[in-house]
Structure 1
Amino acid sequence: MRPLAALFVLLVLAGSARPTTEVWAGDGGDPAGAVLLVVDGLGSAYVYPELLPRALDGSPLERTLLFNLTGEGARVLNVTVPVPETGPSHSVLVTGCSWADTTILGSPGATIFDLAREEGLVCLALLQRGDSMGMVLEQDGIIFFDDNALWGAEPLAGSRANLPSDLADLLSAERDRFPLYNQERGVSGYVGYNAWGLDAAADVVSAMGSKSRPFLLIVNVGAVDSAGHNLGPKGYVETISGLDAPLGRLVEACEENDVLLLITADHGMSFPSGQGKGGHSSAKYSSRTESLAVPAVFIGSGVDDLILAGDWSEVDLAPTLLDLLGLCPALPLSEGRVIPVSKCFDLEVNSGKVAEVEVRRDGNLVARATGDSRYIFRNLDRGTYSVESAGRGTAVHLCGDQSIDLSRGSAGSSENIVSSIFKKENRKYIAIVLILAINFIGALLIVRIARRG
């Protein structure tokens, strides 16, 4: 077979091969819901102990430790946003698309809310800081602020007609409690503004858990950003410190109700020096690490306890959230990867023919399947396994979803290589190779024709 034709055959085979039998190897299930907490303006350099924020003049800045942020779960060290600005960043966060803006939110199926609703989840939101109308319209039930004022703000509650009446009543009650948190001035007032959003989120989680209703809740608390703009580095860090206690109440509610929690931000904050007002989107601030780097902490029963290095983007958060929720459909505009923070992963095995396959760990049988030639072993814990079938076997270390081909003897078989080559992120390289191959073959034909002439 000619090399180019063989490459196209491999492409067809790689695209057509599909596992046919699923085997659940673990006991874990999908969480009952998820909370996406966005702390407006929270730069990771100010809360991650491994990082040190610096001002434009090079001087070190104050930072703080949030025990309920860094004390458990999976913490991703290096996550950056494509655009350090609230509206575009929120759109990136819920679509996984780096060029998304607020106009994208109305596109059918574009957001995590669209996919969640298709799977029967109720979509709810608590949005401070005057979020876009596109984000508001994505929700089944919502409390939102139509301006960015911290004092004198009047939150509005709204819902779709199909939202259960008890949930609509709950949102109205949380709206009415806001003035109790919004009486003091100074740093205490900023802290209270955030505390309302986190306490309201904890109440919603508890209410949804008690009714066993699957849901997706996005929460945007906005006072950290305001403190950075108005109070300088010291007031900014003090406002961040005030997040810890109400964040602990939200974490506790999520853990009690088996709800996944993702804590992140839409952008960070930069300062000119140890004093002065901060910024993030203007020209002198927008390229700074302090403006671009945001926390990403996943907490939940299906999440491993780890600190993950590597370079990651805000576009990776939506695919990871959906993966941890067990929602398989992909976001159509997403450019992101699934960040390997799960406790458990899937192992795809091709035995080449109908045969029994055994998966073992430390010599102990974990799972066995028979009657097919292809299997997916679901929910295997992170670690090293031996896989055997018809006298052939291999070892595989799971730190993400993987595929192995025992029909050719090892995890590094040609089919496994082909399947990795044709991943989405490598398709542009495939196109380049194909174009070069076609040009090369064309050049050879021209030379042969010229010689015959």
Structure 2
Amino acid sequence: MKNNLVIILLTTLFIFSTPYTALAVSEITLNEVKRPQSAILFIVDGFGSSYYYPGTSPVALDGSLLLKATTGNLSFGAMIADIKTKHPITGIAHSVIVTGFSDANEETVGYPGATIFDITKEHSFVNLAIMERGDFMNMRNEQDIILYAENNSIDEPFMAIQTKNAPDGVYDLMYEWKVKLPAYLDGKKGVDKYSAYNRWGIDAANAAAIDMIKKHPSRRFLLTVNIGAIDSGGHNMGDDDYLKLIEKLDSDIFPLYKTALDNNIAFFLTADHGMSFATINARRGGHSSDKYSTKIESLRIPLVIVSPNTVTGIIGGEYEQEDIAPTLLGVLDLPDHLQYADGNSINIKKYASIFVKTDSEYQVSLWNNGQKLSERSDSELIFAGLPLNSSYILKATGDGGTFQETVSLDSDKHFNFKKPENALNISNRGLIAIILILIVNVAGLIIIRRIKD
């Protein structure tokens, strides 16, 4: 009897502790739309938009007017004109980017449901990454596979691979690119060496994207990339060499950009923070120390988005780094269920979507001008492809009652329908928890009784 109870207890514990994987989501596309299959999040460490954005003029700490880089490829798509980070520190800024939470840190990234990677994984995406900076432990743990730098050295870099659920062949490709790095750097110095380090990361990312497209065409993926030598160049070289590195990035990034453009992949270019210089021709710059951290050149970052379902041109308004995560999810038509996010999606899509989530299966219908457009029963639904600036009525009927919402679509909308707080609402896992407690109590009583006997 005792052995049987132990087996039941362990089995129940296993069931209770097994995490959910992909969710079943009902998606209803009401009008034909072009939207991305996958996405690339390209983070340039230490890349201040003040040094290339139109209408900006970078200034040194002493008031000297600094020069700007000449670029062409870094200005494609929808350019968010004014977006800043509050925290010009690599680890914290990366945490804000992927959580949409303005006060995030490296620990926050490890919380359940905190990141864009949690959302993409729930919707059957593969999360893969190639990162030269920002690759702290919790960031790595969010990836199915990541090729990353274990140190920040460009002279003696050491790359490693961490994997837990990579698609077939991806590890071999990552390993191949790991061993290619020395050939990129051999015989180079100064700007050429720093640029080669960046180019290796870009080329490796391009190879990973092409590999997924060719070998796993049905798998959606989020590829996160960080290149680190712009930041290193800002710290270790002068403002003139910093601009040269930006210009080399502008040419080196084109193959990856073209892969995204040709294969229906959304491309997000951004940075963790910018860079400031004390004077013109200063040999070193900075961003996080007291004298640099409040400068607009350290805080203003680029955000440029290319996707088949987004507008193009310069987007006005003032935005913050925490707006990046919900914007990325919106472009992918994924729900913004980030647990701690306080950022808002930037309205750049050509259409709107309605996201519905309930605590049990509901009958949900969408109406326009008295006509039912669609009806479906599920606990999570997405109505996609709705024209902007249109109005609808959303009706939902389920265990928690009947709900009706009038929806004016100036952007994506999210609705959560739940039972009233005083209603009995025991989920499957809640029921398992109750059973588990009962089993433990019964087993304990039996053991105590046997001891007494």
Q: TM-score range by the shorter chain?
A: 0.7 to 0.9
Percent of paired sites with the same residue: 38
User: 1:41 and 2:46 equivalent?
Assistant: yes
User: 1:311 and 2:287 equivalent?
Assistant: no
User: Which of 240, 244, 248 matches 1:238?
Assistant: 244
Distance 2:224 2:28 in 1: 33
Alignment of 1:292-307 (within 5 A): 292-307=299-314
- Aligned pair in 2 of structure 1 residues 377, 33: CA closer, same or farther (>3 Å)? closer
Distance 2:243 2:295 in 1: 18
User: 1:345 and 2:352 equivalent?
Assistant: yes
Q: Is the 8 A contact 1:205 1:257 kept in 2?
A: no
Residues 304-341 of structure 1: per-residue CA shift (max 9 Å, x gap)? 11211111000000001011111114101000101011
Distance 1:335 1:114 in 2: 17
Q: Which residue identity does 1:44 align to in structure 2? A: S
SS of equivalent residue, structure 1 residue 123: strand
Alignment gaps of 5+ in structure 2: 1-25, 356-364, 376-380, 394-406, 416-453
Kindly report structure 1 stretches of 4+ aligned residues shifted beyond 2 Å: 21-26, 354-359, 368-372, 375-378, 384-388, 396-403
Aligned length: 359
User: 1:263 and 2:265 equivalent?
Assistant: no
- Aligned pair in 2 of structure 1 residues 24, 187: CA closer, same or farther (>3 Å)? same
Q: Which residue identity does 1:153 align to in structure 2? A: P
Alignment gaps of 5+ in structure 1: 1-20, 349-353, 360-367, 389-395, 404-418, 420-453
Q: Is the 8 A contact 1:319 1:338 kept in 2?
A: yes
| 1:365 corresponds to | none
TM-score (norm 2): 0.74
User: 1:79 and 2:83 equivalent?
Assistant: yes
Distance 2:221 2:116 in 1: 12
User: 1:151 and 2:155 equivalent?
Assistant: yes
Deviation at 1:293, TM superposition (A): 0.4
Alignment of 1:109-124 (within 5 A): 109-124=113-128
Q: Is the 8 A contact 1:86 1:267 kept in 2?
A: yes
| 2:223 corresponds to | 217
SS of equivalent residue, structure 1 residue 263: strand
User: 1:188 and 2:192 equivalent?
Assistant: yes
| 2:56 corresponds to | 51
Q: Which residue identity does 2:170 align to in structure 1? A: L
Distance 1:231 1:91 in 2: 27
User: 1:27 and 2:38 equivalent?
Assistant: no
| 2:444 corresponds to | none
RMSD value, Cα: 2.7
| 1:172 corresponds to | 175
Deviation at 1:267, TM superposition (A): 0.4
Residues 24-73 of structure 1: per-residue CA shift (max 9 Å, x gap)? 44312542111111100000101102111000111111111321111x31
Q: Which residue identity does 1:257 align to in structure 2? A: N
Q: Which residue identity does 1:182 align to in structure 2? A: L
Distance 1:46 1:262 in 2: 18
Q: Is the 8 A contact 1:89 1:267 kept in 2?
A: yes
- Aligned pair in 2 of structure 1 residues 369, 291: CA closer, same or farther (>3 Å)? same
| 2:335 corresponds to | 328
Distance 1:325 1:304 in 2: 14
